[in-house]
Structure 1
Amino acid sequence: MGCAAFGNLYAPVADVDAEAAMAAAIDVGVRHFDTAPYYGHGLSESRLGAFLRATGHDVILSSKVGRSLAEGEAPGDTGFVGAACARPYFDYGRDAVLRQVEGSLRRLGRERLDMLFVHDIGALVHGADHPARFQQALDGAFPALAELKAQGVVDAIGIGVNEVAVCLETLAAVEIDLILLAGRYTLLEQAALDDLLPLCAARGVGVIVGGPFNSGVLAGGDHYDYGAVPAAIGQRVERLRRVGEAHGVPLAAAALQFPLAAPAVCSVIPGARSAAEVRANTAAMAHAIPADYWAALKAEGLLRADAPVPA
């Protein structure tokens, strides 16, 4: 379960609704919760930590490093509505990363984490500053996470990003266990099949697919990659929906189940902001999809011919 919504991404989520969504996730068997200090500027981690302290559930937790929080400073417009009063800023240095982890552990009420990802590294986020930021991470963040792994503070380390290029760049430079790749291996795009997924499979690096709905557009929402839906994307989604209707397959069901067929993919983590959305995701994962649906997508040019599909 991706927990960005509990940081009030796009719109506020009441405490009671966040708690109900987490409880519903536990009820249906979800045991991996992914969060980050950036989500609501600490709000998502705080809500998740409060829920786990109150309920005592034993879950797998992943969080991220790369952004420090200047508490008490105006955050600016980050897309999180009613976020905690803290200004997030990038810092991939070793000391900053260790302080970021301390903050996450405090908010989550834990002494250790299962996974830690270097967050939003890459040219997509940093533009011309990417080489300097990436070098800072190579010198600081990645060695710090390796130390924490050696100390038993975290079990697995990796990156959490929205682009393929920096995944390949990272794999060429450091040893990691996992990649959390958001929005780049979905029904709408499969370029990760060219190089990244085969390399991860060969290297034994697990891929967690985040953003399987591409920020919501594949589940009936009005966002694509954290912004408005481009006309071309909207048209493609409509074509996908029509093929699904012809085969009795809801688009959300196909979007959730498709990524898991790739050998390197070990998990898919949709977000949810309510118990109803959790139950909808669960139903989508359980929906039986006939083989001729996937064949029809490929015949229509809506899915790459070489894309692995669920049996």
Structure 2
Amino acid sequence: MGCAGIGNLYAPVSDCEAHDTVAAAWQAGIRYFDTAPHYGFGLSECRLGAALAAIDSKREAIVSTKVGRLLDPIEGCGGERHGFVDAAAFEPRFDYRGDAILRSVEESCARLRRDRIDILLAHDLGALTHGAAGDRHLRDFLDSGYPAMRALRDQGAVRALGLGVNETAICLDLLARVELDVILLAGRFTLLDQSALDRLLPRCLEKGTRLIVGGPYNSGILAQSTRTVRDLRYDYRAPPETILLRAAAIEQICDDHHVPLPAAALRFPLRHPAVASVIPGLVGEKQVEEMMERLALLIPDALWTALHEADLVRITEPEAVALP
């Protein structure tokens, strides 16, 4: 379960609905939850921590959170900021240095009500987020941030470490420099965007780095019908016409094979052997129920073949993917 939604991403969510979402996911068998300080500026972590404290007495949940942003208190926090609505009274500030990493982990543990982090991810490194400042942040991370993460893992305060990003270039760069247990990659290995396929996924297999696919619906465009929904998002913004047309073509082939578009989107990344998990964002018991139905749906191999023949996806069978 991706937990940005219970941090009020795009729309406010009550404490009760956030708790009920996590509880429904738990009841359905979900045991991995991904969050970050950035999601609602601490709100998502607090809500996830409160829910798990009530339902996970044996500490079975696997929780990933992120570092790279510190939260500074502010006065007044209504409205939308950075995509989060009526979030907590903090402002995120990028800092990938070692001291910031240690402070961030301490604060996350307090919000999550946990004494350690299962998976710790460096959040939003790379040029896509930082532009010209990307090199400076990368230097900070390599000089002291990454060593701090390694030390936390060595001490047992963190079980695994890696990246949580939206672009492949920084993944390839860091895989050549440091050891990463996990990469959480959002939006780059989906029905609409398979840019991670040629280089990153083979490198993950080669290195033994497990890939978690976030954003399987590409911010929502693949989570619903392109024909009936008007307020569609792709990569957090309104989709360009080329993406709308491509999504509509995928949806038509899914219809021809009697498979809902969201079910195909959720299942597609799992066809690659490098992928360990897919984490759709969830808000509300209904979305949990829909996700479980999509996971249980029998999808014919003919669908993947048809999408491949239409040049809409570039893999059909996991066995067809070979190391270079």
Q: TM-score, normalising length from structure 1? A: 0.97
Question: Percent identical across equivalent pairs?
Answer: 51
Deviation at residue 295 of structure 1 after TM alignment: 0.7
Q: What is the CA deviation profile of residues 33-52 of structure 1, one whole-angstrom value per residue up to 9, with x for unaligned ones?
A: 00000000000000001111
Per-residue deviation, 1:216: 0.8
In structure 1, C-alpha distance between the alignment counterparts of 2:318 and 2:84, rounded to whole Å: 35
Letter in 1 for 2:40: G
Q: How many aligned positions are there?
A: 310
Query: Would you say 1:15 and 2:15 are equivalent positions?
Result: yes
Contact 2:273 2:318 in 1 (8 A): no
CA deviation string 1:229-287 (max 9, x = no partner): 22111111111111011101111111111101111110000011111001101111111
| CA distance 1:308–1:133, shift in 2 (3 Å) | farther
Q: CA deviation at 1:299?
A: 1.1
Task: State the distance in 2 between where 1:258 and 1:115 align.
Answer: 24
In the other structure, the counterpart of 2:64 is 62
| CA apart distance, 1:309 | 5.3
User: What is the aligned counterpart of 1:258 among 268, 278, 300?
Assistant: 268
Deviates more, 1:16-25 or 1:215-224: 215-224
Q: After alignment, is 51-60 or 88-97 more displaced?
A: 51-60
Structure 1: which amino acid aligns with 2:258?
Answer: G
Distance 1:214-1:234 versus aligned 2 partners, 3 A rule: same
Instruction: State how far apart, in whole Å, the 2-side matches of 1:243 and 1:55 are.
Output: 41
2:291 is the alignment partner of 1:267: no
Tell me the amino acid that sits aligned with residue 236 of structure 2: Y
Q: Deviations over 1:178-218 (max 9, x none)?
A: 00000000001112111110011011000000000001110
Which of 191, 198, 207 does residue 187 from structure 1 map onto? 191
- Alpha-carbon distance between aligned partners in 2 of 1:84 and 1:77, rounded to the nearest angstrom: 10
Query: Structure 1: which amino acid aligns with 2:199?
Result: D
Contact 1:184 1:192 (8 Å CA) reproduced: yes
1:138 matched to which residue of 2?
A: 142
After superposition, the Cα gap between the structure-2 partners of 1:272 and 1:145, relative to the gap in structure 1 and judged at 3 Å, is: same
Where structure 1 has 5 or more consecutive residues not aligned to the other structure, the ranges are none
Q: 1:234 aligns with which of 244, 250, 268?
A: 244
Aligned partners of 2:33 and 2:61 also within 8 Å: yes
1:173, distance to aligned residue in structure 2 (A): 1.1
Counterpart amino acid of residue 45 in structure 2? E
Q: How far did 1:79 drift?
A: 0.6
Distance 2:158 2:235 in 1: 29
Q: In 1, are the aligned partners of 2:191 and 2:265 still within 8 Å (CA)?
A: yes
Give me the whole-angstrom Cα distance separating, in 2, the residues matched to 1:104 and 1:308.
Answer: 39
1:117 and 2:121 matched: yes
Aligned residue number for residue 91 of structure 1: 95
- RMSD value over aligned CA atoms? 1.5
Aligned AA (1:13): V
Measured in 1, the distance between the counterparts of 2:123 and 2:108 equals 13
CA distance in 1, matches of 2:148, 2:178: 12
Change beyond 3 A, Cα 1:190–1:308: farther
- Secondary structure in 2 aligned to 1:70? strand
Unaligned 5+ segments in structure 2 are none
**Aligned AA (1:28):** A
Cα distance, 1:169 vs structure 2? 0.6
CA contact (8 A) 2:305 2:316 kept: no
Instruction: Return the TM-score normalized by structure 2.
Output: 0.93
Secondary structure at 2:23 match in 1: helix
Distance 1:74 1:236 in 2: 42
